[in-house]
Amino acid sequence: MAKFYVQSGSIRGIVDCYDSECAAVWVVNRVMTRIVPVQDEYDDSNDQSDVGMFALDDEISISERGFDRDDSELIDTHLAFIQWHQMKRAIELLEKQMNDMD
């Protein structure tokens, strides 16, 4: 795994990931876990997940060389959010299936 320097808005972090896309999802997760409370069951009527989009810039800057690099890869925050949300839902569904087996 490689070390990535990830930044967007006021968020900066260093993360070991397989690729830059994984690093982008990591920064979205970092923001969203601060905003969205952990729930036992997903409830669309109480979904505040779009609030986290405003904590980040439109793009996530990712580099293996450091912060504030002109050669950083830019990943659209909205696309990273969609990937994060799909991953979160998949995990919730798997957990539900496992609990139903008990």
Boundaries of every domain in the chain: 2-101
pTM beyond 0.85: the answer is no
Rounded to 10 degrees, the C-alpha dihedral 33/36/41/44 comes to -140
Cα 64 to Cα 57: distance, rounded to the nearest angstrom: 20
Percent of the chain scoring above 90 in pLDDT: 70
- Ranges 25-34, 48-57, 76-85, most confident: 76-85
Report the distance separating Cα 80 and Cα 78, nearest Å: 5
Average pLDDT over residues 87-102: 92
Q: Pick the residue with more confidence: 32 or 83?
A: 83
Task: Write the DSSP symbol of residue 17.
Answer: E
How far is 80 from 93, CA to CA, in rounded Å?
Answer: 20
Location of structure tokens 């876990």: 33
